[in-house]
Amino acid sequence: MSWDLTALLNAADPQAALAERNLWLVRLLEWLRHAAPREQIPSGTLRPVVRLKHLLNVLERHPDHARRFSAVIAGVWNDVDAVSLFAEVGFAPRMALWHEFLGRLRRRLLPATTDTRDLAALFELLFGDRADEDWIAAIDDELLGRLSLLFAATPDDGWRVEARAAVTVLVSSVHAAGLSGMLRVRMDEPLLQDRPFHQLPAAWEAVERALQPGAADAPGPPLQYLRALLDRCRAAALTVPEHLETHGVSVDLMFTVEQLTARLDRIEALLACLVSREPQRELLRLVAGLVRVVHERRSLRTLFASHYSLLARKLAERSAETGEHYITRNRDEYRDMLGRAAGGGAVIAGTTFVKFFIALLGFTAFWGGFWAGVNYALSFVLIHLLHWTVATKQPAMTAPAMAHKLLHIERDDNLQGFVDEVAHLVRSQVAGIVGNLALAAPVVLAVQLICRAAFGAPPVGEREAHYVLQSLSLAGPSLLFAAFTGVLLFASSLIAGWVENWFVFHRLDSAIAWNPRIVATLGRARAQRWSRWWRANISGLAANTSLGLMLGLVPALTGFFGLALEVRHVTLGTGQLAAAVGALGFGVMTTWAFWSCVICIAGIGVLNVGVSFFCAFKVALRSRGIRLADRRRVNAAIRARLWREPLSFLIPPR
């Protein structure tokens, strides 16, 4: 057990270059973690703690090794910038989320060096294992007292000077962040009446004077006042997320708030060390916390999970507000849904013919996709403005509304309420699809037959009809493309939520209503109406425009990279199949090619709806932190409803 330790102690050289001494410390920490051959560790004891005790035993028996050991540590401490350890570890140099992302990515990809005077960078090399926090926290009082042997050559108050300087740096950062306009205007005004951020530097100066060696006054009253200010600053900062939830979310602002509150916590931890009569335990707790922060800051997933969760929840909530309009709960709403879906189907019938016309023009892949996307987008926007609906848009909007219902299913009556919502949702979705298809297919077929009778040829000819039968065949990749289309349907709902959040965050509705130039141009009353109209329709316009453009452009762009992806939309596919029947005659309906397309279109509808709903539902659950611990109970309740009242999923109650 001691052969490699002996080599390490012999290699300790206080006169070596700083990079070599830093490297020696890194190797020493590696020795503490790694097991030697046939090494026995008592159960319930951490290996680094056992090895640390062994190290101290050896140093206590060999004073020469102990002097060289402590001289190396003292030399490193004198040669590095220790303020950075206390004031910078765990904090981003700039209050920008993407800048922090690039910094974390760089630290993950590029190797670090021991040739550094930055103790924060050296600290990351020394404690590169996540388990370091556990064994540091496991050091007991007896072992903690013996650790003074390792720092015998280091001045007793050396760390105090650096800690006070670090608090000064942290207070300056908090002071600047708290007074910045982007945070100040979003904090709760009553909490800022005493101007806690303004008073913070002066309060710390008073405490720092009381902490100086030989100071006549005790830091008691100034310290209490400083801690009260820190609490006040924290309370004010924590009101920013509440403001963002109401007035639009910004991930950069959320990141800034998180950094500000973390700096406040670090100030509290350093103050605890500075004013404690026995600071060793507080310092150990601080070091363990720094180790945890180092590893948290290496995680890219944690960065985005923590700072995009509020944005994801807000997008889900905005979708849930919209999704409530797509859920029917009685027969009047059900009939209204059928009528609005039928109107949407009529518009999609026209979209089908324009799609064939664009294909005949022979554009290149990109421009063909672009104009196809414009066709889809204009059709979807027209449907939205006429207050009609496209069935496949519903799942991504209704899923967050369904997820919200899961928040209160502990009681049986609430669980039955959720099952009722599932029945309402399925029934509404069926009504939407039936309404779309009930008008899209007959309108396309009627136009084909009328044109054949009037002009001798239908708008969609036999060549295009045979292509439709081939492309919608059950044996082809259409079902895979349908699932891909479901992802695009879900993505359009995210884009809609993001655009609406951006619109609200930048207060564009207020700008339309009160901008002097706009008011002078439109008049006050018209500007107010435009403001309300844009606020009510921005989400729908963004969803429909983005969905249409993605349906047209994404296949063209993926084709550039050799991915032969296409879109398969149930309503568009039905219109195309109706056009094929109109071109080839009703005799085609007796062939397997036709019924293969019919079965495939049914599968396309299921996948369009199912994939979109699943993606939106998962995002809504995660953004709210909902865990379906009683998933079996929910599934059992739904199965029971299917067994007792199967028609409730198709026909609304009287």
Decide if 226 contacts 168 (C-beta within 8 A).
no
Q: For residue 81, list its beta bridge partners.
A: 118
Q: In the prediction, which pLDDT does 269 show?
A: 94
Question: Per-residue pLDDT averaged across 223-237, rounded?
Answer: 94
DSSP-derived 3-state class of residue 561: coil
- Per DSSP, 129 falls in state S
**Whether 222 and 257 share a structural domain:** yes
For 322, half-sphere exposure in the C-beta direction (CA atoms, 13 angstrom radius) is 28
105-114, 291-300, 399-408, range with the lowest pLDDT: 399-408
**Whether 328 and 283 share a structural domain:** no
Mean per-residue pLDDT of the chain: 86
Question: Per-residue pLDDT averaged across 268-278, rounded?
Answer: 90
Decide if 491 contacts 550 (C-beta within 8 A).
yes
Closest CA to 54 of 36, 67, 71: 36
* 519 found inside a domain: no
In 10 A of CB 413, how many CB atoms? 8
* 346 found inside a domain: yes
**Whether 35 and 96 share a structural domain:** no
200-214, 241-255, 344-358 — most confident range: 344-358
* 506 found inside a domain: no
Task: For residue 400, give Cα distances in angstroms to 172, 574, 617.
Answer: 42, 28, 6
* 540 found inside a domain: no
Question: Per-residue pLDDT averaged across 66-83, rounded?
Answer: 90
For 220, half-sphere exposure in the C-beta direction (CA atoms, 13 angstrom radius) is 3
458-494 pLDDT, tens per residue? Answer: 999 999 999 999 999 999 899 999 999 999 998 888 8
List the structure tokens of 527: 């500007």
**Whether 259 and 397 share a structural domain:** no
Q: In the prediction, which pLDDT does 296 show?
A: 78
* 408 found inside a domain: yes
Query: With bands split at pLDDT 50, 70 and 90, how would you rate the model's confidence at 152?
Result: confident
Decide if 189 contacts 159 (C-beta within 8 A).
no
Amino acid at 605: G
More confident site: 600 or 276: 600
The domain in which residue 459 lies consists of 321-481+553-649
**Whether 460 and 565 share a structural domain:** yes
Closest CA to 498 of 323, 249, 158, 295: 249
More confident site: 421 or 459: 459
Q: In the prediction, which pLDDT does 512 show?
A: 94
CATH of the domain at 439: 1.20.1080
Question: Per-residue pLDDT averaged across 316-332, rounded?
Answer: 68
The answer, yes or no, to whether residue 158 has pLDDT greater than 90, is no
Decide if 90 contacts 297 (C-beta within 8 A).
yes
42-46, 188-192, 267-271, range with the lowest pLDDT: 42-46
Question: Per-residue pLDDT averaged across 442-456, rounded?
Answer: 93
Number of domains the chain contains = 3
91-135 pLDDT, tens per residue? Answer: 877 656 667 777 778 877 888 889 999 998 899 889 888 888 899
**Whether 179 and 233 share a structural domain:** yes
Query: With bands split at pLDDT 50, 70 and 90, how would you rate the model's confidence at 316?
Result: low
More confident site: 427 or 35: 427
Query: With bands split at pLDDT 50, 70 and 90, how would you rate the model's confidence at 293?
Result: confident
Query: With bands split at pLDDT 50, 70 and 90, how would you rate the model's confidence at 456?
Result: confident
**Whether 140 and 164 share a structural domain:** no
Q: In the prediction, which pLDDT does 462 show?
A: 93
Share of the chain above pLDDT 90, in %: 43
Q: For residue 118, list its beta bridge partners.
A: 81
Name the packing angle between helices 592-624 and 570-584 (round to 10°).
170
* 583 found inside a domain: yes
Residue identified by tokens 């079965």 is 599
Amino acid at 503: F
Decide if 379 contacts 350 (C-beta within 8 A).
yes
**Whether 112 and 134 share a structural domain:** no
Closest CA to 609 of 436, 319, 395: 395
- CA–CA gap between residue 122 and residue 593 (Å, rounded): 69
**Whether 349 and 398 share a structural domain:** yes
Query: With bands split at pLDDT 50, 70 and 90, how would you rate the model's confidence at 651?
Result: confident
Angle made by CA atoms 176, 178, 184, in degrees to the nearest 5: 125
Q: In the prediction, which pLDDT does 630 show?
A: 61
* 403 found inside a domain: yes
Q: In the prediction, which pLDDT does 1 show?
A: 41
pTM for the full predicted model: 0.72
Query: With bands split at pLDDT 50, 70 and 90, how would you rate the model's confidence at 385?
Result: very high
List the structure tokens of 73: 């540590």
DSSP-derived 3-state class of residue 143: helix
Amino acid at 368: G
CA dihedral 519, 524, 529, 534 (to 10 degrees): 20
More confident site: 380 or 412: 380
Closest CA to 371 of 384, 386, 387, 354: 354
* 389 found inside a domain: yes
In 10 A of CB 47, how many CB atoms? 16
Which residues make Cβ contacts (< 8 Å) with residue 11, sequence separation at least 6? 24
548-596 pLDDT, tens per residue? Answer: 999 999 999 998 888 889 999 999 999 999 999 999 999 999 999 999 9
List the structure tokens of 21: 């001494």
Per-position DSSP letters for 165-183, written without gaps between them: HHHHHHHHHHHHHHHSHHH
Last residue of a domain, one of 248, 264, 298: 298
**Whether 569 and 455 share a structural domain:** yes
- CA–CA gap between residue 193 and residue 208 (Å, rounded): 25
**Whether 392 and 468 share a structural domain:** yes
**Whether 58 and 180 share a structural domain:** no
- CA–CA gap between residue 427 and residue 425 (Å, rounded): 5
The answer, yes or no, to whether residue 258 has pLDDT greater than 50, is yes
Q: In the prediction, which pLDDT does 33 show?
A: 84
More confident site: 61 or 318: 61
Which residues make Cβ contacts (< 8 Å) with residue 15, sequence separation at least 6? none
Question: Per-residue pLDDT averaged across 425-445, rounded?
Answer: 90
